[in-house]
Structure 1
Amino acid sequence: MVAFAGWLSELAGRLRPGGGWYGVFAARDPEGLRACFDGTELPPWDVVESLLQDLGEPPGAPRAVRGRVLHQAAAAVHDRAPGAADDLADLRRLREREARQAETRVLDLARTPGPELAWARDDLSRARARIAELTARLARVEERRTPAPAPAPTPAPARRRPRGARYAWLDYTDDAGDAGDLVDAPGAGRTATVAGPAPQAVPELPVAGAAPRGARFGGAAVAPPPAAPAPPADPGQAARAAGNAVYALRRLRAQGRGGDAHGLLCEALAGPPAWLPVLAAELHRAGLAADWATLLWEAASLPPARLAAVAGALADAGRPHDCDQLLRQGVARPVEELAGACAALFAEGHQPEAQALLAAFLRVRTPEDAARLAALDPAALTPRLLSAARAVSPSRERDLLHALRVAGLA
């Protein structure tokens, strides 16, 4: 929290007082903004993004990436405190009420477009973004508190099938041959049936030892033993699943159910990695590029081997920009997890992606962090880190060499 507050204060010092979004936030909630600068409160990420926008910083710039890393770390520390789940739940209820009020204002003002309508739409957009952020944080808290399920699964009852938007990513057929996943369709009392083949098991996330599972948990310090190769993805099945998910997302967004939409995106990360590029293309065609950005952000905290699998699938599908973005966002992880992700990428033959991960790490983490990373596997990581530092800049290579010498690794 202190580190993030220092970064935020340094950012504010570069802004023009009273101008841009900085001036708006200071006028609307001066005490809340001061608490954020003091480190006693954590601002929603949309506020930080707006301040970066005032400064003209693009999302992938070093200052923006560093801020995202610190914001994520501060949120993780805050959410481990006793009572954090109740606080987050209360805050989410407040944001949901704000979203409903903003929706009402947007509808009331839609007949007379003007500045007030623009502000109402901005309030609604921010409320939805904050609901999604709080929902993700709450899910991580609950995952930490929930014990692991029992190595023998209980068979599902006959003729029982999942219902609702969270299952839109899965295709299945019930035992009577009645195919489809049911999601709400336009019109009262009707449902849309999305045809699909026989049930497909959701693959287990690769983990090592007793590491917790879920999008915001890492695996082990080193890569787990390589698993058996997955069967080739069925393009038709991937397309059906993507279309189903996009349909459900549109419905949820139209109803203002941002939390459920975020949950659906997280469900997609449990499916075959090779399906994700198909989903990306479908989301962009549907004008839901922001949902794809959210999914990439969640994917950045998958366990190391799973992160490597998703990055490799994006690279293999001709989406290098998405792959690079995923890896850049993953550098907030502890060095032990990054070592596992690098090892998995190299083991799967994705050397360029592994080097890109190391380069992104060196741009936003300290040379001392890089030395700690190298110490986990000096023979493999030290030369690769030096190569990545050389590609970043000569000064970064010099700083890394000094840190490695201090650590006795060079």
Structure 2
Amino acid sequence: MTVQQQTAEIGAFVRFLRDVEARSVPDAGWYGVFAARDPEGLRACLDGVEILPWDVVESLLRDLGESPEAAAHARALHAAAAAAYDRRPGGAESLRARRALMDGERRGAEARARELAARLRTAPPAEAAGLSAELSWAHDDLLRAAARVVELTSRLEAVPAPVPEAPPVPEAAPRPAPEPARRKPRGARYAWLEEDAPATPAAPVLPTVQAAPPRGARFGGAPETPTPAPARPAVPPADHAGAGRAAGNAVYALQRLRAQGRSGEAYALLCEALAGPPGWLPALAYELGRAGLAADWATLLWEAASLPPQPYAAVVGALADAGRAEDCEQLLRQGVARPVDELAEAVTALEAGGRAEETRTLLAALVRTRTPEEAAEFAGVRPGHLVPLLLAAVRTSAPAHEPALLHALRAAGLPTA
């Protein structure tokens, strides 16, 4: 690919991005959030100096109400621009540094979300609304960081290996090979880390602008195709002992609470749904989608990802049985951020329920988004059973990661054969 082609691809995406900016409301929605949190970074992306993370692009498109076809076109422009950007000298090194920063951001947001969730469970009503808002932003930070780890991993795997230079002609003086200049990592753009910040950041700061409820990254992160908001099924799922009636009542109550500004109670109502039968959740997803409350369903999915392993596996199974494949996959991707000992229990629970496909999806996400050391720690929970599963997953879904994983397993004293 020539430099001119690279410039053309980045330029096409920049022109598209500027059109999105021109149609966005300056101080509202996600554009207002991103502009307030990192105006310099946003401007760098609009100038083509950086590539905007896909979850940010997707959020901006959602604010504008773009069609799935327009989102697919945007995804293609973004992928072409990112590929051209990553092929520049030092691209692979920069991607690795960015991915390390985003993994640190993911860990910090995960810890913050767990802390806030624990406080919310015992908080008095006067504090519940504020904590609920903080938790919503912590969830959004975590989901964006996790999505970007996946995106950066995919981009890194797509960078072609450098072609070795031909040996010099005999008697000719060897030419000194240039070292591409090491660029300062800037991968934390829109994760709201300073470039010289520690790997594990402090709690995210709430924006000072009125913004729409966090939702953008909940539907993004997969590198292959755009992931729209959960689509409303053509027909409601089969009713399980009054699930449809209960879901309709819950949505009605949720709408009343939202209209009255009682966001803390609305959040609590959503969480209560997870205490009911898992088989009822597809009906609730349908009713939320029909009422235009897809963002609340995304919040519910996030909360389900933090359930203990057994209930978590039960929800995964219920969504799979109801044919909600995208929701099921999203829940599995979100669940991979939990501690490795809980991940091991979740895998066991999925296997016990006969969920072989879902088990493979969870393991594939693990080897692609967690570090080799974390994967080895996961396997160490039950080496005889989990090591073979992990090796099968990495060989099938991420073969480029196998050498690093094998090294981590050996360093941990685990079998690799």
Q: Residue 345 of structure 1 aligns with which residue?
A: 350
Q: Residue 362 of structure 2 aligns with which residue?
A: 357
- 1:183-222 superposed matches below 5 A: none
Deviation per CA, 1:334-388: give whole Å up to 9, x if none: 1111111100000110011111111112222110011111111111111111111
Q: Residue 145 of structure 2 aligns with which residue?
A: none
| Alpha-carbon offset, residue 267 of structure 1 | 0.3
Q: Which amino acid aligns with 2:37?
A: F
Q: Which amino acid aligns with 1:310?
A: V
Q: Please tell me whether the aligned partners of residues 359 and 388 of structure 1 are also in contact (alpha carbons under 8 angstroms).
A: yes
| Alpha-carbon offset, residue 24 of structure 1 | 2.9
Say if 2:299 is the partner of 1:261.
Answer: no
Unaligned runs of 5+ in 1: 1-15, 29-47, 97-121, 131-232
Task: Measure, in 2, the Cα distance between the counterparts of 1:275 and 1:65.
Answer: 35
- CA gap of 1:308–1:75, structure 2 versus 1, over 3 A, is closer
| Equivalent residue for 1:390, pick from 388, 391, 395 | 395
Task: Measure, in 1, the Cα distance between the counterparts of 2:252 and 2:278.
Answer: 20
Say if 2:130 is the partner of 1:92.
Answer: yes
| Alpha-carbon offset, residue 51 of structure 1 | 9.2
Q: Which amino acid aligns with 1:25?
A: R
Task: Measure, in 1, the Cα distance between the counterparts of 2:374 and 2:132.
Answer: 38
Deviation per CA, 1:44-100: give whole Å up to 9, x if none: xxxx9759968x999xxx96995555412244468889xx979x949928979xxxx
| Alpha-carbon offset, residue 331 of structure 1 | 1.4
Please, which moves more after superposition, 392-401 or 308-317?
392-401
Q: Residue 246 of structure 1 aligns with which residue?
A: 251
Q: Residue 73 of structure 1 aligns with which residue?
A: 111
Q: Residue 37 of structure 2 aligns with which residue?
A: 25
Q: Please tell me whether the aligned partners of residues 65 and 329 of structure 1 are also in contact (alpha carbons under 8 angstroms).
A: no
| Alpha-carbon offset, residue 297 of structure 1 | 0.2
Task: Measure, in 2, the Cα distance between the counterparts of 1:272 and 1:77.
Answer: 26
Please, which moves more after superposition, 240-249 or 355-364?
355-364
Q: TM-score, normalised by structure 1?
A: 0.51
Aligned residues: 242
Task: Measure, in 2, the Cα distance between the counterparts of 1:361 and 1:94.
Answer: 28
Task: Measure, in 1, the Cα distance between the counterparts of 2:308 and 2:328.
Answer: 16
Task: Measure, in 2, the Cα distance between the counterparts of 1:406 and 1:259.
Answer: 47
Partner SS, residue 235 of structure 1: coil
Q: Which amino acid aligns with 1:351?
A: A
Q: Which amino acid aligns with 2:317?
A: G
Task: Measure, in 2, the Cα distance between the counterparts of 1:90 and 1:243.
Answer: 25
Q: Please tell me whether the aligned partners of residues 65 and 364 of structure 1 are also in contact (alpha carbons under 8 angstroms).
A: no
Deviation per CA, 1:132-182: give whole Å up to 9, x if none: xxxxxxxxxxxxxxxxxxxxxxxxxxxxxxxxxxxxxxxxxxxxxxxxxxx
Q: Residue 317 of structure 2 aligns with which residue?
A: 312
| Alpha-carbon offset, residue 399 of structure 1 | 1.5
Task: Measure, in 2, the Cα distance between the counterparts of 1:91 and 1:277.
Answer: 27
Task: Measure, in 1, the Cα distance between the counterparts of 2:413 and 2:369.
Answer: 23
Task: Measure, in 2, the Cα distance between the counterparts of 1:261 and 1:90.
Answer: 11
Q: TM-score, normalised by structure 2?
A: 0.50
- CA gap of 1:257–1:65, structure 2 versus 1, over 3 A, is farther
Could you say what the CA RMSD is over the residues aligned between the two structures, in angstroms? Answer: 4.2
- CA gap of 1:285–1:372, structure 2 versus 1, over 3 A, is same
Task: Measure, in 1, the Cα distance between the counterparts of 2:123 and 2:241.
Answer: 41
Say if 2:360 is the partner of 1:322.
Answer: no
- CA gap of 1:259–1:271, structure 2 versus 1, over 3 A, is same
Task: Measure, in 1, the Cα distance between the counterparts of 2:289 and 2:117.
Answer: 33
Partner SS, residue 408 of structure 1: coil
Unaligned runs of 5+ in 2: 1-17, 19-25, 41-53, 61-73, 77-97, 135-207, 216-237
Q: Residue 225 of structure 2 aligns with which residue?
A: none
Deviation per CA, 1:3-44: give whole Å up to 9, x if none: xxxxxxxxxxxxx9xx9655433579xxxxxxxxxxxxxxxx
Q: Residue 291 of structure 2 aligns with which residue?
A: 286
- CA gap of 1:95–1:240, structure 2 versus 1, over 3 A, is closer
Task: Measure, in 2, the Cα distance between the counterparts of 1:238 and 1:334.
Answer: 32
Partner SS, residue 332 of structure 1: coil
Task: Measure, in 2, the Cα distance between the counterparts of 1:79 and 1:395.
Answer: 36
| Equivalent residue for 1:406, pick from 411, 414, 417 | 411
- CA gap of 1:272–1:290, structure 2 versus 1, over 3 A, is same
